[in-house]
A and B are shown apart, each in its own frame.
Chain A
Amino acid sequence: MSLAVPNGLDNSVERPGTRAPLVLGDSSYHSITEAVCKVAETPPSKLWVFSFIVAVHLATMLGLCIAYLFYTGVGVWGNRNPVFWGWPIVNFVFWVGIGHAGTLISAILYLFRQEWRTSINRTAEAMTIFAVVCAGTFPGIHVGRAWLAFWLAPYPSLNLWMWPQFRSPLLWDVFAVSTYATVSLLFWYMGMVPDLATFRDRSKHPLRRAVYGVLSLGWSGSSRHWMRYEKAYALLAAFAAPLVLSVHTIVSFDFAVSQVPGWHTTIFPPYFVAGAIFSGFAMVITLMVPARAIFNIEKLITIRHLENMCKIILTTGMIVGLAYGTEFFIAWYGQVTEEKFAFINRAFGPYWWAYWTMISCNVISPNIFWWKKARTTPWIMFVVSIFVNIGMWFERFVITITSLSRDYLPSAWAYFEPTWVDWAMLVGSFGLFFTLFLLFCRLMPIINMAETKATLAKELHMAHKDAH
């Protein structure tokens, strides 16, 4: 039951005529179970405890900031005339974008039969859920009176006697993001049920067994169940794939349907989707590179997985770069004075530093992945992924802030200054994200064991056939 790999743990070398293995080392079904369950079953490492304490504190800071915001009002942010969409919206778009890679990996790569997705999809999906949690927080508290945010929902109100306005992109956004969150959660949870059953069956403590028993819904592994389960999984993947594209399209409508110079462009939907995938894959790398080292799962999340993600980052990075160029071209070609000004102002106006940070992080830094050495060296990709995260945050900053701070009316121009609450909330949202993610690493199966075993079975089968 073992598969000899000539190059040790390096499966990134292409050998003509053979498929590179995706499960490495002397792996068996049981060793996969052991490797994944060990993460949740052994006491946490000091590093985990330390990270968790830090993350929880930051998340608490976010909570306190929100309480302060509720108590005092939205004036605690830097949102001032004319920039009324400040960092909360920047953070919202940033986090929603992060989420997209998870769905892309679990849905679109599934539909394309990209089997290398199997060992990373769980983490990526979890990342999606937690990123959407962070993303959903910001528009929720940005509405001013957050306790009345339910007014966004189309419910028969006895106080308002009116319905929401269904021609507004902001309302589409409510539906898109909430649908996205719901479907992602269903997809993630459904994918986890067989692995939760594994956790249940390995549990010694009755309480643990009871909790995982309830969570796994009495999963037995029956072939009939598997058959329907796989069909449901394929269907959900088929639904989630267009959904993920629609969500960031609609998020881009929030901007594109308005008349603000620099926002009112038709390139926004594809540009936003590419940017979302770009940032999402960067975040997956940011999470995976340390996680595979800490939890000793290098045999399951191999260099080949990481290399593939680097290739996607390179591709989407170039798409994003092309979009930046196209925007400038259209601004010139369209001959709209305000539009031209908006783009020149972005690059050379008071926010030039943000624009060029974005360009260097998003367009220049991923080009290092043209070299295979960079694509297969974890620390390099980790550094680049951090750059891309920073760059993509700045992309949203540039789009939101520069356009609003200088629109049609020069007398209303102003320079945006964030407050300490803006900073604390941005940092705090990372705290919330990592708190959830670290808890997930401890309590849930971080790798899809069932699918990885199926991949292993396939590879064993192929090896068996090759042997004949």
Chain B
Amino acid sequence: MSETKPAPQTITDGKTVHGVVAEFSDVDSLLAACERVRDAGYTKADAFTPFPVHGIDKALGIKPTVLPWIALAAGGLGTCTALAMQIWMNGIDYQYIISGKPYISLPAFIPVSFELTILFASFGTFFGMWALNGLPKFSNPMFTSPRFDRATDDTFFLYLDAKDQRFDEDGAKALLGDLGGEYIEPVVDDDSSKKIPTGLLVGLAVVIALSLIPALAVARMRVTKSSSPRFHIFPDMDFSPAKDAQQISTLFADGRAMRPNVPGTVSRGDLDWDVDFHTGIDMEKLAQIDAPRARQLVAMMQSDVEVDQADGQVAGEEAEEATEAVEETTETEEPKAEDAKSEEPAAEEAEMKEEAAEEESSQETETASEEDASQEEPAEVEPATEEATVEGSGEESEEMAAEEETTEEPAAEESEPAPAESEEPETKKPEAPAALAPASGPTVDTTPWLTENPLAIDQAVLERGQQQFNIYCSVCHGMNGRGNGLVNQRAQRILATTWTPPSNLHDETLYQDAYPDGKLFSTISNGIRKMPGYASQIRAKDRWAIVSYVRALQASQNASLEDVPAAQRKAIEKEQSDVKAALEKAAAEAEAKAQQSAT
């Protein structure tokens, strides 16, 4: 083909000539030309082809590359790195015991060693090849000529370098022309500007500066001593969205954030106190007197499930009710639950203050205690069952409200609880063991109440008792326990017909010898007449503290001077004599006045 072309052309201008290049249009003529050039003694000749031409390295006298050795070295480095890494990390520095295998277990290290060998060898090959080729190199005199663009398309170029010892421009051109080069030109310098455009430099600087910001920010955060909380991109579990006690949760099927105790289990720390502590009854004695009741009490303290086994009849019924209550809770939809909740305080208020409209208030009381039951029964099995047990009927607290209603009348007449309670087992639950009731009054209360407060009484307990008493008890019983609290005063003023006045705690029937500590505790826990049980609101320990405070109150109102410590006795005596003198004086004056006016 080349024979048909015109004589070789040359282009010259004043620039540095790097060499001479000739074009060929097929592989065979290029190969032939290469061989001729090699034979002519040129050692720095090169060919540029759109694809690898086989045999051209021989035709040009190109030496084999060292690349395979680089790959081998890199691969060996990879193997060593992998083995060293694994032996150090798992065999020496942080030893894992896996199935009793040796720490340095080479078979298990093979996969990673193999992968890193391949990886390193590939990197060695890839980067080694570009390094040996001197690439990337974006400026190349060959690219000066637009004709060279076809070197990557379909044209073959043979290039004689000016650095070659045999090179002279005219001779080279002549040689290439002889070899059939179709278009011959000298390779000259690129005359375009070598300056990198300012815009590019600025852009690059900006990008580099911006890319440093995250690293700098991290570095700064690592050294800074700040008291403000850590910046969390991902919250992880550092902030778990905790729910408050009464909130609604979508996480559980029953929709409650609070989790009830698992039936048949006791929470950690709840085993510190025995059954006596929670009932106020000496269980050992009770077991001798009335074994079924004792068994039932113990069983109910433990779980609902065991109640079934302990006493089939009563407990079975109760368990049924309990499940009903639980079902009610689970089925309760959110707004409904909220309604009930908001109703509760209202109900309490009504109960305490008004009570004028009997039916309404009793209804409300029921809803309130229903709410109580459903809320607290599964959550705190203990107090709830306790209530039910000591009430004597084995009933739910739900039932209690109703009971209060029924037992109200006798209770209203008589402030003494005994006759009222003695009626319960007969009227309400004939099937319940009679001894369950704290029977007293006409029938003697055989319950072996604890006669001593199980708490060790000290100042702290008394103060706690006082605090709790003032919160829960004083509203009805009065700050001094005389039974004239604010609620009572209001009830008296509006002449509430259903109101049962709270007991005067200084009544002799409520003294330690007539009304043992255990019984008082039980009354606080389970309520009596109009008074609701406080087991769900006040912890057992605090109830015992209240008992101790009530005893202190009683003692304060009925003490003789001998009870007062000697140090303070004199002061009191003086105060008393002062008061006495003042009173006598006033009486004398009044008498005198009366005499005067009479005369």
**Chain A residues in the interface with B (C-beta under 8 A):** 28-30, 33, 70, 145, 147, 154, 161-167, 169, 171-172, 175-176, 179, 182-183, 186-187, 190, 194, 197-198, 200-202, 213-214, 217-232, 235-236, 239-240, 242-243, 246, 250, 253, 449-451, 453-454, 457, 461, 464
Contacts and interface: CB of A to CB of B under 8 A. Distances in A.
A246 to B, nearest CB: 6
Interface in B127-170: 128-130, 132-133, 135-140, 142-143, 148-154, 157
Interface in B28-86: 28, 46-54, 56-57, 60, 62, 65, 67-68, 71, 75, 85-86
B152 A197 contact: yes
Contacts of B49: 221, 223, 226
Contacts of B46: 222-224
Contacts of A250: 111, 115
Contacts of A154: 85, 89
B474 to A, nearest CB: 50
B65 to A, nearest CB: 5
Given A235-B68, A236-B125, A167 B108 contact: yes
B115 A179 contact: yes
B472 interface: no
Nearest to A229: B129
Contact of B62 (A202, A227, A451): A227
A171 B110 CA distance: 12
A202 to B, nearest CB: 7
Contact of B234 (A147, A167, A220, A450): A147
B114 interface: yes
A253 B136 CA distance: 40
Contacts of B90: 163, 165-167
B119 A182 contact: yes
A11 B27 CA distance: 25
A239 B118 contact: yes
B3 interface: no
A33 B317 CA distance: 91
Nearest to A246: B114
Q: Label chain B's interface by main secondary structure.
A: helix
A406 B301 CA distance: 41
A211 B90 CA distance: 46
Nearest to B107: A167
Contact of B68 (A70, A176, A231, A461): A231
Contacts of A28: 154
Given A145-B234, A183-B119, 6 more contacts: A28-B154, A147-B234, A221-B48, A223-B46, A250-B115, A453-B50
Interface string B100-114: 010001001101101
Which of B60, B62, B118, B121 has the most chain A CB within a 10 Å cutoff? Answer: B118
B135 A223 contact: no
B135 to A, nearest CB: 5
Contact of B96 (A165, A222, A243): A165
B93 interface: yes
A117 to B, nearest CB: 15
A145 B236 CA distance: 8
B71 A235 contact: yes
B150 to A, nearest CB: 7
Contacts of A221: 48-50, 151-152, 157
A217 B112 contact: no
Interface of B: 27-28, 46-54, 56-57, 60, 62, 65, 67-68, 71, 75, 85-86, 89-90, 93-94, 96, 98, 101, 105, 108-109, 111-112, 114-116, 118-119, 121-123, 125-126, 128-130, 132-133, 135-140, 142-143, 148-154, 157, 233-234, 236
A457 B132 CA distance: 27
A202 B122 contact: no
Given A33-B153, A166-B108, A202-B153, A230 B132 contact: no
Given A154-B85, A218-B136, A246-B115, A201 B62 contact: no
14 contacts: A30-B153, A33-B154, A161-B94, A167-B90, A167-B109, A175-B111, A186-B126, A219-B135, A223-B57, A239-B125, A243-B118, A253-B111, A450-B50, A454-B52
A220 B67 contact: no
Nearest to B136: A217
Contacts of B114: 242, 246
Max count, chain A CB within 10 A of own CB: residue among B28, B86, B115, B126: B115
Nearest to A247: B115
A33 B71 CA distance: 32
Contacts of A175: 111-112, 115-116
A450 B52 CA distance: 7
A236 B128 CA distance: 12
Contacts of B51: 29, 194, 226, 449-451, 453-454, 457
A147 B233 contact: yes
B52 A167 contact: no
Contacts of A239: 71, 75, 118, 121-122, 125
Given A218-B135, A242-B118, A230 B52 contact: yes
A416 B236 CA distance: 27
A454 B154 CA distance: 11
A176 B234 CA distance: 29
A236 B126 contact: yes
B125 A235 contact: yes
Contacts of A232: 67, 125-126, 128-129
Nearest to B82: A175
Contacts of B56: 223, 226-227
B65 A190 contact: no
B140 A220 contact: yes
B196 to A, nearest CB: 12
B67 A231 contact: yes
Contacts of A161: 94
Nearest to B137: A218
Contacts of A172: 111-112, 115
A145 B237 CA distance: 10
A166 B86 contact: yes
Interface centre among B27, B133, B148, B151 (most CB of A within 10 A): B133
Contacts of B50: 29, 33, 194, 198, 221, 449-450, 453
Counting chain B CB atoms within 10 Å of each CB, the highest count among A147, A186, A235 belongs to A235
